[in-house]
Amino acid sequence: MKNLENILKGYPEINDYVIHSRTTKSAEWFFIKDKLDQSRRKEVSYSSVKIFVDDVEGKTRGNSEVLIYPTHTTEEIQHLIHEAVLSAKLIKNQIYSLPVEKELDFKQNVKENIVEAGLEIIDFIFDTAKKAKGDLNSFEVFVNHNTMESLNKNGLHIHYSTQDCYIEVIVNAKTSTQEIELYKEYNFGSLNKESLFNQFNALFMEAKDRAVALPTPKLEKADLILSNDNVESLLGVYEASTNVGSLYNHSSNFTMGQNLQENCVGDKIEMKMLSSLEGSIYTSPIDELGVILKSSKVIENGVFTKAWGDARHSFYMSLEPTGNLKNVQFKGGKKTIAELEKEDAIEVLDFSSFIVDNSTGDFSGEIRLGYVLKNGKKTPISGGSISGNLLALHQELYLSKETQRSNRYEGPVKCRLNGVSVAGLQ
């Protein structure tokens, strides 16, 4: 890294720079049913160099990024930096500056245990499948240990390490007339057995129910219940719309100080953006621009109190930058899951594709598996679609009291939204 820094100092036109170096040691295992098909280990190192170049009048700023690998010679690095400087000069963003903070109290040294962590995950998958009486088709487990080093022109220099895990799972379910195959991905920093067990159990149940699901009825309007990652996707509207980039570019319907849920009869949104979250792969002391991350309470009791986001757009809006935070926390609501499911509704577990427009609040999805909840009875359904607009309906948004932590998200397991359009098949 010092060699990179010395090369950068040889370019007086570079006004700012940030160097991120990463060495990743990884292990992976691929199973078909309960048989190991293949496994491998590898180690990869590289450095990301971000440079910032201002014009001679100090009115505009451009930036560029290059990746440097251990195999690059000094001459090759100099050529790459030279090309990056030329590219940065072509970008004419309004001038902005990066914070000059140097003091950082961050200690994270994750033990390198990729094989141990991987074997624990594999045992957990087999144990969960056995308890759920599920049919595992195949699965793949990846575990990465990352050694990180970051340095910027202002003198901030830190070392830390992280770990991230990734699982791909395919499960089956059969009836006398058909066989269902479902694929799911899971990403996390450390194994949260309770949360992942619930998600795996739901996956096996989903496969079995999908095999006997009936066509979705034509209901026109219904109350909608969502769960797990679909809740995260829907609530992402609040996350995106409070970002300084969205506010500056006028792609948000929100304004700071606004009561987002006037005349609310449901649960009011409470949202924080966090620099760290246990089990998240995005826990970090700084962002991509070398800005020290600061956790921030963004929405309180339904009121948008503070914007969050990167240094550039914060500078334009004369706001203190929180940095590009990637972990989010939503407070649970007043009703339990049982209470949310007590009244008639359509509950969707899985979509072929769930599309949420963060700028407008529009959402839609084709139902892969759901349930009709009617008179206390739960009937599996498939096909048809739902659509609505979160911002038009969130006065009657209900969040489950039960919460979960799933990678970068901590918040309600389920939510209920009243008055959603349903296009059925019969």
Across the 426 residues of the chain, what is the mean pLDDT of every consecutive 10-residue run? 88 94 97 95 96 93 96 95 96 92 72 92 94 91 95 89 94 81 90 87 87 86 93 97 97 95 95 94 91 96 97 95 97 96 93 94 94 92 94 96 93 95 79
Cα–Cα nearest to 390, from 220, 205, 234: 234
Check: CB of residue 396 under 8 Å from CB of residue 388: no
Strand partners, 27: 41, 143
Residue type, 69: Y
What strands lie across the sheet with 403-406, from one edge to the other?
303-304, 296-300, 271-274, 327-330, 409-412, 403-406
pLDDT at 425: 65
2 contacts: CB under 8 Å, gap ≥ 6: none
- CB burial of residue 72 (10 Å; 0-12, 13-18, 19+): middle
Cβ neighbours, 10 Å, residue 352? 12
Q: Phi and psi (nearest 5°) for 114?
A: -65, -40
* Alpha-carbon radius of gyration of the chain: 24
Residue with tokens 């219940």: 225
Domain boundaries, the chain: 2-207, 214-426
DSSP state of 56: T
User: Residues 133, 138, 144, CA angle at the centre, nearest 5°?
Assistant: 115
Cα–Cα nearest to 369, from 183, 251, 216: 216
pLDDT at 414: 96
Measured N-to-C along each axis, helices 193-210 and 114-132 cross at an angle, to the nearest 10 degrees, of: 40
Token pair in block for residue 157: 């220099």
Percentages (nearest 5) of helix, strand, coil residues in the chain: 20, 45, 35
Q: Which CATH architecture has domain 2-207?
A: 2-Layer Sandwich (3.30)
Instruction: Report the predicted TM-score, pTM, of the whole model to 2 decimal places.
Output: 0.91
